Structure 1
């Protein structure tokens, strides 16, 4: 199918092509109470009940109805897609259908997968990195019906181990910021990254001037014709391709700016994708399609670990840095508390599951299908339990509780918990709540108390605005049924 479509382009037009890619990273952190599955009322989102509802009304729905997802490159956070499927199935179906339409027309989809919980992968263990990648790819396959070629890394945070794991899972490309390259590059072309064990992966670097302008300069996106004719076209000559005239200008931004952060920009995007770019000699293209037309011919090394929204490597999500105001030392204390409890829970999981299961970590990597009911339980347990080992229903129940605990430990590392300026925000409180849900599940399965040490660790994290500690925030979480948690 792709070859039929590609035949419409002459060799000369391919070599002289000017291509424009608009990539939107659509993501919201999970807001559900992990014990009830319900999103609490968020007054500041009024007149809507919560920000998921508000952003759907302002961004996801209008962009879907305008057909923007059919032409642009995009990724949706898996946890956000799960909520959309439950709460606004018509919007969800339009998003999925957009990728199908692009696949049918060009032989390649325009949606990218995303690491499942928006975890900063270079800060994660190798096992957790692999789980995040495999869960993201499995979720994509289930929803879109075909394997993902590209994968969005949370905050474009990258190290070589992460890229190797992507390549091991068959991912062909990702998108990074230009300052993540170890030397000056031409952002108008993709690059190949050679990996330590012989494999490689392709990286597209977005145009920082355009991406930053679209994100923060209202004037730049007030007129789509002027945006292409004066701003985009100037970038074609700003960097000369090394050996070919074909050039790809990539603009990568948070997707929510198209209608939520910036009202009416969904309509700007629609005109740009359907008419504006073409009228000025630019062809709209996506990374997967461009990669088929123009495989990378140059290589580059990366500055690692690095990310797109922190000039201090990964300090914004680990030790804290000047990227956020105030005293950010709470970040290292919170990360340490979550890392400690994750390590203890992982040991318990491996020890308990190892008695019954051939490979506990492979079982965890494949757990998403059981959690969401995409696979029959009997098939799942038959595949993972040791052969010739009698496993009782009580043992199966215990394994399921421990897998659910692992599921919520992964949720606790959502990057948004560390992104902003203070501990006493909804994002860190949610991370602590997810960890408490994991504590509850471990307590039910094994009768082992992980709560005491966790609360003690949380006491070291303090809000510089209110003086509250992480332990205070833990105790202020909604009350749950007696027996689901060890006594404080």
Structure 2
């Protein structure tokens, strides 16, 4: 039968990098992870490369790469982050596309995506073109082939956007059924299918005014909705059965049931959703009545015989077209009761104004440096993909209007970076949610701030910031402390703005807590410590030196001298200025060393202030991750004192707390707080240095006293501890010589695993041991056959390894190979 099924996952996170560092910094809301990229990768992107298939007894029988059996796209900016921060998951995605080409007759399952997820119908023509060209170039560089399809951010489409895709060689895209306006058999009469009434089981060719055309798949709305919002991923069997209901029994010819959702449904929004997907795909793969496919493979076999026109503009997540990204249309995420989205329009207008102010300045100045500034911007993606000096040199060779000297290179690259950030500031998530001060909107404002900074430094356009803030002032916040967009910008964005001097200050202050050689990398900056003198006296530290900095992005460089003093706790004084007078540097060094030796704090501060003037910095000026690290260091003693005090309160009052709990009269909040801090802290420590008896005692105590356990944080800590121990065993197995022995070290690892797994099963909350299961499955699959063979020949060590591996597999729920 000509019945086919295609599942599409749109896997995407907005760019989260600090625009001045090009690093993702700590995001508290992602706790217990470092940031949201890390969290969602661990919950979704990585598990979908190794999804677990279970047998009837709940044991893992296979690990499968879901991406290889579905259609998918991953955002280019997300893939850039994954390449460096999650290389195994990144490699799994690329491998899946290759595997899918073998599975689907030469057609890879990966689709390209417009570069940084802008709402295409709201962009000007120039930005649309760059977004498409950057998305296509990014795809080719990663997947090593031309994409056949392209995902539009939020499926937001209009006729002009489809024209651009077709002109750039894109064959198809995927839209919501509510984006179809009317359809017809080729050459027949048009039928109104608005309101989601389109038949989604066939592809459509959309004729365009230019004479070109593009093919469109309208996904099955009800089934897609059920996946995303109706709990369909609770069961792989139910998921597979629901997909099969999408076929129309009365329809002749081939049919394609295709669904499209955010890929994060499969593991992040719905825990273990990747397992339900894997199970459903397994069921469908084994069903002779249907065939799994991807869009490109289906198009090759069954080209469209119907035509369609779309609702222009329209999207998959706004009932009002694309108003969600420019107006208070009523679409919201429901986060804040009574929240208004009146801020959306002034935010859009402020960014449009900034874009239109920057463009002519870029063009006029750019012509002095680049043969065609806009063609250079379109090709700048090659530099974004490869920041090496060789890549930059090759780019400048292609586009420079004449051989550029060092200063001109800095200016040209800075102007291109300005344009990159003027594109990034339109990332759709900035408008999607309910409140102006959310991290997504703050992020797009940070990109705008970086564009403004570069315009001020290299175009002399420092006047733009004031007008931009005036425009933001008309964007009202729903949160009283922020009032409006100006306040949000000044409170949450402006403190992060950094130039070379601030980077030097960060280097100076952070250096008091550890250096890593004379050359370091700080985000996108290359740092060379030329000279440094250090002094310590009790809790006080001082450093004075010189540092060279160079941006790997713009090649801007600077040579600075710095002086920094730490007087204990959070008290820092730091000065930075360009290196000028060597004699003054030597004299100041002597003055500082003399004052420090005498513990003359007022003189130290006076000397720093006199030498560095207004170039003063403190701990507030550090980038977030290093700031947190230093605060943890300087507060370590204080925290130990606080924890000791809590521990003393808890232990000395424990009998009374138990008495109060037994009486059910309620434990006073201060005493409850002390007990919760101590119990959670001790449990976290014990997961690292396992003591099962003590852990059980603390869990019983928490239950008896009604204490609130940090379930998510503790589960995360225990999962990591189990996975690390499993990895140690796997590392040993990767060494062939280890098979010749089984001594106390090997024994200790397995006993530790036994204790950790036992404890995990006894906790009053769920601990996902997926990391350890993955390691165990691979160890059993790769090494057990060799060990079994050696054991059969009488090798006692191999026999012991087999016994321990089998026991570990049983406790982790991993089925042994037949």
When the two structures are superposed, what TM-score results if normalisation uses the length of structure 1? Answer: 0.91
Offset of residue 273 of structure 1: 1.5
Pairing of 1:172-191 with structure 2 (within 5 A): 172-183=171-182, 184=193, 185-191=198-204
Alignment partner of 1:165 is 2:150: no
Q: Distance in 2 between matches of 1:181 and 1:337?
A: 32
Counterpart in the other structure of 1:453: 467
List gaps (5 residues or longer) in structure 2.
Answer: 52-64, 183-192, 503-818
> For 1:141, what is the secondary structure of its paired residue?
helix
Q: Decide which structure has the larger Cα Rg and report it.
A: 2
The one of 2, 9, 15 equivalent to 1:30 is 15
Distance 1:68 1:365 in 2: 33
The alpha-carbon deviation at position 329 of structure 1 amounts to 1.2
Query: What secondary structure does 2:7 align onto?
Result: strand
In structure 2, relative to structure 1, the CA distance for the partners of 1:278 and 1:29 (3 Å cut) is same
Distance 1:40 1:483, change over 3 A: closer
Deviation at 1:32, TM superposition (A): 1.6
Find the residue that maps to 1:236 and give its secondary structure: coil
Q: Is the 8 A contact 2:3 2:291 kept in 1?
A: yes
Moved more, 371-380 or 19-28: 371-380
| Counterpart Cα distance in 2 of 1:40 and 1:381 | 31
Are the equivalent residues in 2 in contact too, given 1:225–1:277 (CA < 8 A)?
A: no
Separation in 1 of the partners of 2:300 and 2:328? 41
Could you tell me how far apart the structure 2 residues matched to 1:298 and 1:111 are?
A: 25
Give the structure 2 partner of residue 305 of structure 1.
Answer: 313
- Would the aligned equivalents of 1:444 and 1:484 in 2 still touch at CA under 8 Å? no
Q: CA RMSD in A?
A: 1.8
For residues 390 and 258 of structure 1, the distance between their equivalents in structure 2, rounded to whole angstroms, comes to 51
| Separation in 1, partners of 2:451, 2:237 | 51
Match of 1:47 among 32, 36, 48: 32
1:390 offset after TM fit, Å? Answer: 5.1
Q: Is the 8 A contact 2:138 2:385 kept in 1?
A: no
Which residue of the partner structure matches residue 45 of structure 2? 60
Tell me the residue number matched to 2:140: 141
Residues 10, 262 of structure 2: 8 Å contact kept: yes
Paired positions, count: 463
2:245 corresponds in structure 1 to: 234
Distance 1:482 1:270, change over 3 A: closer
Structure 2 Cα separation of the partners of residues 390 and 23 of structure 1: 47
Aligned to 1:472: 487
Deviates more, 1:82-91 or 1:390-399: 390-399
Alpha-carbon shift at residue 354 of structure 1 (Å): 2.1
Alpha-carbon distance between aligned partners in 2 of 1:51 and 1:335, rounded to the nearest angstrom: 25
Corresponding residue SS for 1:235: coil
Secondary structure, counterpart of 1:424 in structure 2: coil
Question: 1:268 corresponds to which residue?
Answer: 276
CA distance in 1, matches of 2:83, 2:407: 33
Between the aligned partners of 1:406 and 1:257, the Cα distance in structure 2 is 33
**Partner SS state of residue 427, structure 2:** coil
Give the aligned partner of residue 257 of structure 2: 249
| Equivalent residue runs for 1:47-446 within 5 Å | 47-66=32-51, 67-105=65-103, 106-183=105-182, 184=193, 185-218=198-231, 220-229=232-241, 231-237=242-248, 240-241=250-251, 244-276=252-284, 278-279=286-287, 281-324=289-332, 326-373=339-386, 376-386=391-401, 389=402, 391-446=404-459
In structure 2, the partner of 1:11 is none
SS of the aligned residue for 1:75 comes to: strand
1:295-327 CA distance string (max 9 Å, x none): 111101111000000011111001121112532
- Kept in 2, the 8 Å contact 1:224–1:276? The answer is no
Q: CA deviation at 1:482?
A: 6.1
Offset at 1:424? 1.4
Q: Quick check: 1:167–1:199 contact (8 Å CA) kept in 2?
A: yes
Whichever structure has more strand as a proportion of its residues is 2
Change (3 A) 1:196 1:32: same
Taking the aligned partners of 1:484 and 1:399, their CA distance within structure 2 comes to: 21
Q: Tell me, what secondary structure is at the counterpart of 2:228?
A: helix
Displacement, 1:427? 0.8
Distance 1:252 1:186 in 2: 15
Any residues of structure 2 matched to 1:4-19 within 5 Å, and which? 16-19=1-4
Secondary structure of 1:202's aligned partner: strand
Name the residue aligned to 2:687: none
Change (3 A) 1:484 1:252: farther
| CA–CA distance in structure 1, aligned partners of residues 322 and 427 of structure 2 | 14
Structure 1 distance, partners of 2:246, 2:69, is 21
Corresponding position of 2:539: none
- Per the alignment, do residues 280 and 208 of structure 1 end up closer, same or farther by CA in structure 2, a change over 3 Å counting? farther
